[in-house]
Amino acid sequence: MSPFSPRPIATAVLLTAGVAACANMGPPPGGDVDRDPLVIVASIPSSEAAGVRSDSPVTIGFGERPDRRSVMRALTVFPPPGFRETVWTDTSVTLVPESGWALGRNTIVRVARSATDRRGNAMTEPFQLRFTTKAVPDSGVVTGRVWSGQEFGSSHVVVVAAYPADAQATEAPEEAWPAAIDENLSEGKFRLTGLDTEVQWQVIGIADRDGDVRSSSSGEVWSAAPDMVVFRDTREVTVSDFLIGTLDSLGALAGDVVADSGDVAVVVAERDDDFREAEVLPSGGSFELTVPTGFDYRVGAFLDLDGDSLLGGEEPYVELDEPAGLSLTARRDGISFDLTGLGADNDATPDSAAAAEEDQEAEDP
């Protein structure tokens, strides 16, 4: 078992009270068939609540009658307290803890999107309720970006979680539980909130296939951010980008070049080991250079005044300020170069313009 593999609530324990056998369901006599997704509309306590009593019940309310068995299968609590009973109404479930909610840290109650209503309509987004028994909620924030390898398709959803740093060395991995989870990533960007600033944290990314936020199931892959999170005189820390999985052997550097009509531009990507890939663009336009992943590239563009596709001493050249790296992603878009006004009919190349400016300054009294 991975040290970052939370244990789900035992379904048998959660189904100890109030679960009646479901009647056979069929379409109603007349009218439209219900195709609306199951929605969670409320919870007690509310998300981000503080000062919650350790023995308080937790209630989750649905917008319609859910399929109870699917909800129980989709339900996970970090860390799991065990439950004395589970009480159902038509549209809600109440969880009564056996040993009490965790003291001095966050509790996360999560319902995966696999939960359905009684007609099989699943939730469109997972539900997450986080609360603490502390009188004041923790305020630490960790941000960053995670990249997923090319072997993961649409069947995987990347989730990011924060674990106490010492969880990696624990002799009981099942006791390591996340204190914050972000599963609504946009372009891999994540934000983990509500963390104790007195604790060191490790950020973990999981390519989650079955929606349970567990790295040990279904051969799922996880990876850790390279930086340990330590809050020093700050409440927000940004960790370095990191990758889950592996990249394809080939990637792409793509963008566009703006050039004057009639000028031929060349875009080139180079490495220190003499690797070079170039693309010729008559009158500029879009480019895409196919290059091996796992390297940093110097990327630039120049006007090919002599038609040999090689950079000469008098040919205007523009280069990115920083190398374009493909160590975390197999594609980097949005690279742009502007070569307008630098052609052969223009008297001033970048170097000659700078020299002329220096000469003018020298001549001024």
258-286 pLDDT, tens digit each: 999 989 999 999 999 999 999 999 989 99
Across 14-32, average pLDDT: 44
Q: How many whole angstroms separate alpha carbon 162 and alpha carbon 177?
A: 9
Lowest mean pLDDT among 161-165, 235-239, 296-300: 161-165
How high is the pLDDT of residue 346?
54
Query: Quick one: pLDDT band at residue 5, thresholds 50, 70, 90?
Result: very low
Q: How many whole angstroms separate alpha carbon 339 and alpha carbon 284?
A: 9
Instruction: Give me the domains of the chain, ranges plus CATH numbers.
Output: 1-134 (2.60.40.3710), 138-246 (2.60.40.10), 250-360 (2.60.40.1120)
Q: Which residue has the tokens 């995987």?
A: 156
Residue 13 has pLDDT above 70, yes or no: no
How high is the pLDDT of residue 219?
62
How high is the pLDDT of residue 348?
42
How high is the pLDDT of residue 192?
97
How high is the pLDDT of residue 257?
97
- Across all residues in the chain, what is the average pLDDT? 83
> Tens digits of per-residue pLDDT, 90-138?
999 999 999 899 998 999 999 999 999 999 999 999 999 999 999 999 9
Query: Quick one: pLDDT band at residue 50, thresholds 50, 70, 90?
Result: very high
> Tens digits of per-residue pLDDT, 147-186?
888 777 666 788 999 999 876 544 333 457 899 999 988 8
Query: Quick one: pLDDT band at residue 360, thresholds 50, 70, 90?
Result: very low
> Tens digits of per-residue pLDDT, 64-94?
999 999 999 999 999 988 888 899 999 999 9
Across 292-308, average pLDDT: 94
How high is the pLDDT of residue 99?
87
Residue 205 has pLDDT above 60, yes or no: yes
Query: Quick one: pLDDT band at residue 25, thresholds 50, 70, 90?
Result: very low
Across 329-334, average pLDDT: 88
How high is the pLDDT of residue 246?
83
